[in-house]
Structure 1
Amino acid sequence: MASCSMFTEIASGRNLNEMNELDKEMKELIVVGKTVEDERLGEAVSLKNVHQLPARYNCALMPWQAFKKLIQNENR
């Protein structure tokens, strides 16, 4: 659940556009292993080696995926 705690820290006070930008960066960090230097991601950059463990992608991205679904459902 560490990724959920990190997500709440990141999301606090952010608008939807910022969250969409950060969502893209997190996916690149987790899935591709891209080095991300965006300070807004805070401690989440510590998940940088998760890209080596494909079975853990969903664990690291779960709060981001849940947020995305919530937003999509709100827009219906």
Structure 2
Amino acid sequence: MSNLDQLYRSVIMDHYKKPRNKGTLEGSNVQLDMNNPTCGDRIHLTLQVDDNIVTDAKFEGEGCSISMSSASMMTQLIKGKTIDEAVELAHTFSEMMLGHEHDEDLDLGDVEALQGVSQFPARIKCATLAWKAMEKGINEQIKK
């Protein structure tokens, strides 16, 4: 295993063992529950969106280290972003999971650690669960 692979695994496990933004936002204006019936991962995502900016994001759920660390990373990354930027990040992440190149100027932070998941097709749904929930929640509850 390369040093980079080891670093990425360490970042994923850190987010899994010490998730950021775990919990529920009371009075949030975006709430969505999603699950992955294939493996049983589930997420309850709550966002606060004010003036088209994601001002806060939290999640609760159960699942593998990939799905829970991805949710932790996503909630960190989208805070302070416009809803359009958050949805664009979801598209970029989906493309990354399919093994496609992404704009290197786009700072994905810890999310870069999940890039290797693209080599394991069965795990892609785990990694994208939170992102799909965020995108669906924004599209259904904010952009209507």
Structure 1 runs (4+) deviating above 4 angstroms are none
- For residues 1-76 of structure 1, what are the structure 2 equivalents within 5 Å? 1-34=68-101, 36-37=103-104, 38-39=106-107, 41-74=108-141, 75-76=143-144
**Aligned to 2:98, what secondary structure does the other structure show?**
helix
Alpha-carbon RMSD across the aligned residues, in angstroms, is 1.6
The structure with more strand, counted as a fraction of residues: 2
For residues 22-70 of structure 1, give each alpha carbon's deviation from its aligned partner in whole angstroms, at most 9, with x where no partner exists: 112111111124255221x110011111111011111111111101121
Match of 2:80, SS state, is coil
Structure exhibiting the larger radius of gyration computed from Cα positions: 2
CA pair 6-51 structure 1, distance change in 2 beyond 3 A: same
Partner SS state of residue 122, structure 2:
helix
**TM-score, normalisation: structure 1:** 0.85
Amino acid at match of 1:68: E
Gaps of 5+ in 2: 1-67
Structure 2 CA distance for partners of 1:33 and 1:50, relative to 1, 3 Å: farther
TM-score, structure 2 normalization: 0.48
- Higher RCO structure, 1 or 2 (CA under 8 Å, sep 6+): 1
Q: Does structure 1 retain, via aligned residues, the 8 Å contact 2:92–2:102?
A: no
